[in-house]
Amino acid sequence: MPGNKYNSSPLTPRTRLERLLRERELRKNRSFLQNEGEPDFFASESFLNASESWGPIDEEEFAGTRSSTDNGERLEGRCKQRLLVVANRLPVSAVRRGEDSWQLEISVGGLVSALLGVREFEARWIGWAGVNVPDEIGQKALTKALAEKRCIPVFLDEETVHQYYNGYCNNMLWPLFHYLGLPQEDRLATTRSFQSQFDAYKRANQMFAKVVNNIYEEGDVVWCHDYHLMFLPQCLKEYNNNMKVGWFLHTPFPSSEIHRTLPSRTELLRSVLAADLVGFHTYDYARHFVSACTRILGLEGTPEGVEDQGRLTRVAAFPIGIDSDRFVRALELPQVQDHINELKERFAGRKVMLGVDRLDMIKGIPQKILAFEKFLEENPSWRDKVVLIQIAVPTRTDVPEYQKLTSQVHEIVGRINGRYGTLTTVPIHHLDRSLDFHALCALYAITDVALVTSLRDGMNLVSYEFVACQGSKKGVLILSEFAGAAQSLGAGAILVNPWNITEVASSIGYALNMPADEREKRHLHNFMHVTTHTSQEWAATFVSELNDTIVEAQIRTRQVPPSLPIKGAVDSYLQSNNRLLILGFNATLTAPVDFLGRRGGQIREMEPKLHPDLKEPLKRLCDDPMTTVVVLSGSDRNVLDDNFGEYNMWLAAENGMFLRLTTGEWMTTMPENLNMDWVDSVKV
Ligand SMILES: O=P(O)(O)OC[C@H]1O[C@H](O[C@H]2O[C@H](CO)[C@@H](O)[C@H](O)[C@H]2O)[C@H](O)[C@@H](O)[C@@H]1O
Ligand SMILES: O=c1ccn([C@@H]2O[C@H](COP(=O)(O)OP(=O)(O)O)[C@@H](O)[C@H]2O)c(=O)[nH]1
């Protein structure tokens, strides 16, 4: 559910809603008037009629595909809060036509279509235009052209792009966050180039921060996106601690055990924590992030997020969706209907299977094709009755790993087509290119089985788009259990482990033979989800939550208990001859992982360890006959035994459930007659 905390929120939905409404009213009154005469990119004709794919724009072709949000009720002149969207890439790529002239090509991804729907904000986009502009004339002209689209460029020089984008982002963070290892030779090269790439990453993030800071006005909301900009929240807060900063990750956030291997693990986490709200697609990614903060930074994870000395960074899951109406409406357009008829004719008599992916190793394209080959091998009767169409959109073509992948995929496709092709047909139609929006919708609509076999994927919007276009066909979705989408579409899809090609091959057979009533049931389940959890709702929820977070933080600040008056406490301590000290353990007496690491200490599966510097003072306190020391912890008994067994003190484990004096045995504090009937009702 969008907006769900990574764990439950203490605010009831009603209180939250009331607060939200109150706050919205307040915001309306204190927000800005839209600048007269300045065109709103996200509602402008040029935007709405632009190419909604990665291909070049054909304005004519897209006439008529207006966003569901642009139904005539433009909000001209109304008060709106400004939303500064900061992402590596602008939703526009620029092609130079002359010394001072630029042609802008607009490309729409999930994020842009999501923001189309957020009408109560005035959005501006800050990012890299995907092109090197070394000269001042060119930069000025491009800045002017982009301003008309409410986009503000960050100019990155070629070397920075190479080190920051190709290097640190796409060769280091991207594989790591998707649990993909590098080949041995690349791993060593990456290790060597780490420092210079990380420096470029920080430098690039600072350049983004500078541009944001230049245009920032009090009350703006700054929404940073993705792994390219993990260093940005901290840079922004250094400029202005009152900026409202949110950060959202579009990829998975891996287990803390994986994140731990990153040399820059601490800096990245600390910087992200500078944001007020941190969002992920799924609860699992959010949980991994919180674990990384507790285990690596030694901070406290709470149901609301991560706490550091009284300051809370809110952490929550906000699964993205799509603008499903746009897809459903597109199917009615004559040009899409024409495409549908052409495709139906072209593949008459054969079932169509479809894959649509960027040509990226995370998408599991080789594994998918090998599974399809296995299916053909084991099911000769299907060989002339099924075709796999694979759209493989070229991406990050400067990175060697991606170049290798392209050759590998071509090699496998060629082999299989050679093996099972006939004079007139081939089993796999592989396209190294993107399709325009209409062609893509038509392809989704005529497909019998969609095959999404990502090895890992933050969400995967293709699976949502397929479902949205299957109103009449009610085809089957085979979906990797490692895509974020598996958590929302799992009930209607056939979930597979993409590494197990035997399982994927047999799922293909199951899907192709599935009876109509089962297909319908599965489809309806997913269609309901896709049409009710839209991209617009996702963006609106995130931004509202960010605004709420700030209000709640202000309330919290007032509630933070005053710090201990040290002098008074020490005086009382010294005067007393019977003292009781109750100490926490995690994040109170523990050592951060980095600290242990530097000392070469053993970290057994990240078990919390007493900070080495505290051993001696703790011993002295425990040996003082006038002082009783208790460690009260949420940890298990064995953890406390390991850390404090040799001290003379009381231990309270599992939040006080078990108690022992270190010279005695553990005893349970639970009253014998306690009614435990409720336990069964909450067991899964
Ligand atoms: O800009 P590129 O380097 O060519 O890459 C394209 C985008 O790929 C990634 O997309 C992710 O976001 C999707 C929407 O939230 C999600 O469904 C998908 O699972 C992710 O892979 C990347 O995170 C973006 O920053 C890139 O722009
Ligand atoms: O030829 C194509 C193929 C794909 N897409 C779009 O690219 C996006 C892919 O998003 P997804 O979340 O599936 O994966 P990502 O590429 O962001 O990792 C989807 O919105 C597709 O409609 C496109 O516009 N043209």
For atom 16 of ligand 2, the residue with the nearest CA is: 358
Question: Could you report the per-residue pLDDT of 230-278, keeping only the tens digit for each?
Answer: 999 999 999 999 999 999 999 999 999 999 999 999 999 999 999 999 9
440 lines ligand 2 (CB under 6 A): yes
Q: How confident is the model at residue 58, as a pLDDT?
A: 30
The DSSP bridge partners found for residue 627 are: 579
| Conformational region of residue 395, where left means phi above 0, alpha means psi within -120 to 50, and beta covers everything else | beta
| Ligand 1 atom nearest residue 483's Cα | 19
pLDDT at 558: 66
* Ligand 2 site, residue 455, Cβ cutoff 6 A: no
Q: Dihedral angle at the C-alpha atoms of 303, 305, 308, 313, nearest 10 degrees? A: -150
- ipTM of the assembly? 0.96
Q: Identify the nearest ligand to the CA of 226 by its number.
A: 1
User: Is the shortest distance between the CB of 43 and ligand 2 below 6 Å?
Assistant: no
Structure-block tokens of residue 465? 């788009």
How far apart are the C-alpha atoms of 49 and 41, rounded to whole Å?
12
- 387-410 residue pLDDT tens: 999 999 998 888 888 999 999 999
Q: Which atom belonging to ligand 1 lies closest to the Cα atom of 169?
A: 3
Q: Note the pLDDT of residue 5.
A: 41
| 110 Cα–ligand 1 center, Å | 8
The continuous run of DSSP H or E covering 656 comes out as none
461 touches ligand 2 (CB under 6 Å): yes
Secondary structure of 552-616 in HEC code, one letter for each residue:
HHHHHHHHCCCCCCHHHHHHHHHHCCCEEEEECCCCCCECCHHHHHHCCCCCHHHCCCECHHHHH
> Whole-prediction pTM value?
0.78
d(CA 120, CA 75): 9
User: What CA–CA distance (Å, rounded) separates 528 from 357?
Assistant: 24
Q: Is 449 helix (H, G, I), strand (E, B) or coil?
A: strand
The C-alpha R_g of the chain, in whole angstroms, comes to 28
Q: What is the pLDDT of residue 592?
A: 67
Give the number of whichever ligand sits closest to the CA of residue 174: 1
- Per-residue model confidence (pLDDT) at position 310: 83
- 429 CA to middle of ligand 2, Å? 18
Give how far Cα 34 sits from Cα of 77, 78, 124, 126, Å: 6, 7, 12, 18
CA angle 263, 264, 266 (to 5 degrees): 115
Please indicate whether residue 354, judged by its CB atom, sits closer than 6 Å to ligand 2. no
**3-state DSSP assignment of residue 60:** helix
230 Cα: distance to centroid of ligand 2 (angstroms): 23
- 532 DSSP assignment: H
Residue nearest to atom 12 of ligand 1 (CA): 250
Cα(461)–Cα(471) distance, rounded to whole angstroms? 17
Per-residue model confidence as pLDDT tens digits over 122-158: 889 999 998 999 999 999 999 999 999 899 999 999 9
Query: 70 is written with which tokens?
Result: 């642009």
Residue nearest to atom 4 of ligand 1 (CA): 395
What pLDDT score does 673 carry? 72
Residue of 251, 405, 488 to test ligand 1 pocket, by largest number of atoms within 8 Å of CB: 251
Distance 514 CA to ligand 1 centre (A): 32
Cα 462 to ligand 2 centre (Å): 6
Count of C-beta atoms within a 10 Å radius of residue 644: 22
Handedness of CA 269, 275, 281, 282 (dihedral sign): positive
- Cα distances from 561 to residues 90, 136, 553, 555, 564, in angstroms, run 44, 54, 14, 12, 9
Distance in Å, CA 483 to ligand 2 centroid: 14
Q: Which of 111, 174, 326, 356 to mutate to test the pocket of ligand 2 (most atoms within 8 A of CB)?
A: 356
Alpha carbon of 414 to ligand 1 centroid (Å) = 28
- Pick from 57, 440, 464, 479 the residue to mutate for probing ligand 2's pocket: most ligand atoms within 8 Å of its CB: 440
Q: How far is the CA of 77 from the centre of ligand 1 (A)?
A: 34
Q: Which of 250, 463, 489 to mutate to test the pocket of ligand 1 (most atoms within 8 A of CB)?
A: 250
Ligand 2 centroid from CA 321, angstroms: 13
Return the structure tokens found at 316.
Answer: 């929550």
Q: What does DSSP say about strands 121-128 and 667-668: parallel, antiparallel, or unpaired? A: unpaired
Distances in whole angstroms, Cα of residue 172 to Cα of each of 140, 271, 277: 33, 18, 25
* Closest-approaching ligand to the CA atom of 281: 1
pLDDT higher at 52 or 407: 407
Cβ(614)–Cβ(583) below 8 Å: no
465 lines ligand 2 (CB under 6 A): yes
pLDDT digits (tens, 9 = 90+) for 584-642: 998 789 876 544 443 333 433 467 889 999 999 999 999 999 999 999 998 899 999 99
**What atom in ligand 1 is closest to the CA of residue 457?**
19
Instruction: Compute the distance between CA of residue 223 and CA of residue 221 in angstroms, rounded to an integer.
Output: 6
Q: Which two tokens stand for residue 602?
A: 């053993």
What digits encode the pLDDT tens for the residues 347-389? 999 999 999 999 999 999 999 999 999 999 999 999 999 999 9
- In ligand 1, which atom is closest to the CA atom of 281? 15
Ligand showing the shortest atom-to-Cα distance for residue 178: 1
Backbone CA torsion sign across 667, 640, 290, 170: negative
d(CA 510, CA 416): 22
Distance from the alpha carbon of residue 435 to the mean position of ligand 2, in angstroms: 10
